Amino acid sequence: MINPKVFFQCLLAHNVDFFTGVPDSLLKNVCAYITDNTSKENHIIAANEGNALSLGIGHYLATKRIPLIYLQNSGLGNIINPLLSLADPDVYSIPMILMIGWRGEPGVKDEPQHRKQGRVTESLLKSMEIPYKVLTKGMNNIDTENAISDMYSTSVKKNIPCALLIRKGFFLDYSLKSEAVFDRPTSREDAIKIVINKLSDSDIVVSTTGVTSRELFEYREESGKGHSKDFLTVGGMGHASQIALGISLRKPDKQVVCMDGDGALLMHMGSLAINASMECCNFKHVVFNNSAHDSVGGQPTVASNIDIPAIALASGYRWAKRAVDIDDINQFMDEFLLTKGPALLEVQVKKGFRSNLGRPTLTPIENKEAFMKFLDQ
């Protein structure tokens, strides 16, 4: 296993000093080290992977220095367009290094949403003609330095993107030391319970990927109310509200509540304007904002610096407010459910979740089938 400091210093030795990307659990230790040891201007946690690659292109055009773009392999879907239509040698021929966390690697136990992506990751890189090296926990410092040097040299010589594919367990532990601290009294788990308890038996819930869906599943299990009313969006970060909108349009007699997160909202914020434009009275949008990518290491988002309700209203939502504590949630949820949608409630919550939090015991297919059966009632 490699110390993140060694990895970081090797990149700096090759004049790679600009870092941008979307956090991943397999990369959380090195990303935390980069955060603690890099200026704000040289480490940008991007809204999505395509944005990160584009930031890297801008950096190279202005400095002639190679950027490092980091992402989970599931983010390849967001990055392929700018990668092939901008950075590719047949277009602008931009050198860069991609650092990719290999979730769902064949033979390694992982969640359903990662298995197919993990199986095809190498094939995707080969299809895009991107040279890459696989970094494993059995490598020593010299092996790692050689892999970085090889990919850097290839990228510079050919003016092309190259990749480092990171296997599980490659980095030693490192904890973020420069965390922002917010005075937020309510946990997301407690906030979810209040929201769910306010809903009627006929209301539909579409929950975002990550910890939110896990906490929702556990509360339904604990309360014995079943899971058929909930669609757990286990993958596809940033797309939950569009799934909810699609259901709202076809089930106008049912109230549809999207339970979103700040990182997911930021990833595809343009969906707010689309949600508003359809003017669905039954579309309700709850955004749990802990200003962090909680599921993949707790790296910060910019959501503490923006006014989400104001953005929603400017996009065309009929109603939008912010709740900062339990009293607010209880008060505003009543208004939220009675008002005509599109409506948005931002709920500010503290970062973190229980270490013993479980995962859904239903498969995605079982969840889908039970949910569709409920929609037919």
Q: What is the pLDDT of residues 308-346, one digit of tens each?
A: 999 999 999 999 999 999 999 999 999 999 999 999 999
What does each C-alpha distance from 147 to 68, 157, 169, 205, 341 come to in angstroms?
A: 14, 15, 17, 46, 53
Instruction: Locate 143 and state its tokens.
Output: 């092996």
* Residue found by looking up tokens 């306010």 in the block: 198
Instruction: Locate 247 and state its tokens.
Output: 């259901």
**Is the preceding peptide bond at 106 cis, omega within 30 degrees of 0?**
no
Handedness of CA 367, 194, 269, 92 (dihedral sign): negative
Over the chain, what is the mean pLDDT? 96
Q: Residue 27: what are its φ and ψ, rounded to 5°?
A: -110, 5
CB neighbourhood size of 274 (10 A): 15
Q: What is the pLDDT averaged over residues 1-17?
A: 97
* Residue found by looking up tokens 């707010």 in the block: 272
Q: What is the dihedral of CA 317, 77, 43, 311, to 10 degrees?
A: 0
pTM: 0.93
pLDDT-derived band at 183, boundaries 50, 70, 90: confident
Q: How far apart are the first and last CA of the chain?
A: 53
Q: Residue 277: what are its φ and ψ, rounded to 5°?
A: -65, -25
Q: What is the pLDDT averaged over residues 213-223?
A: 95
- Residue 295 pLDDT > 90, yes or no? no
Tell me the per-residue pLDDT of 133-164, one tens digit each, with 9 for 90 and over.
999 999 999 999 999 999 999 999 999 999 99
Q: Residue 201: what are its φ and ψ, rounded to 5°?
A: -65, -15
The pLDDT score that the predictor gives to residue 231 is: 98
As a whole number of angstroms, the distance between CA 95 and CA 317 comes to: 42
**Per DSSP, what are the bridge partners of residue 294?**
none
The H-assigned helical ranges of 38-181 are 49-63, 76-82, 112-127, 141-158
Domains of the chain: 4-166 (3.40.50.970), 188-375 (3.40.50.970)
E strand or H helix at 185, and its extent?
Answer: none
The pLDDT score that the predictor gives to residue 181 is: 74
The pLDDT score that the predictor gives to residue 39 is: 95
Instruction: Locate 225 and state its tokens.
Output: 């109310």
| DSSP, residue by residue, 305-353 | GS-HHHHHHHHT-SEEEEE-SHHHHHHHHHHHHHS-SSEEEEEE-BS--
As a whole number of angstroms, the distance between CA 316 and CA 277 comes to: 7
pLDDT-derived band at 267, boundaries 50, 70, 90: very high
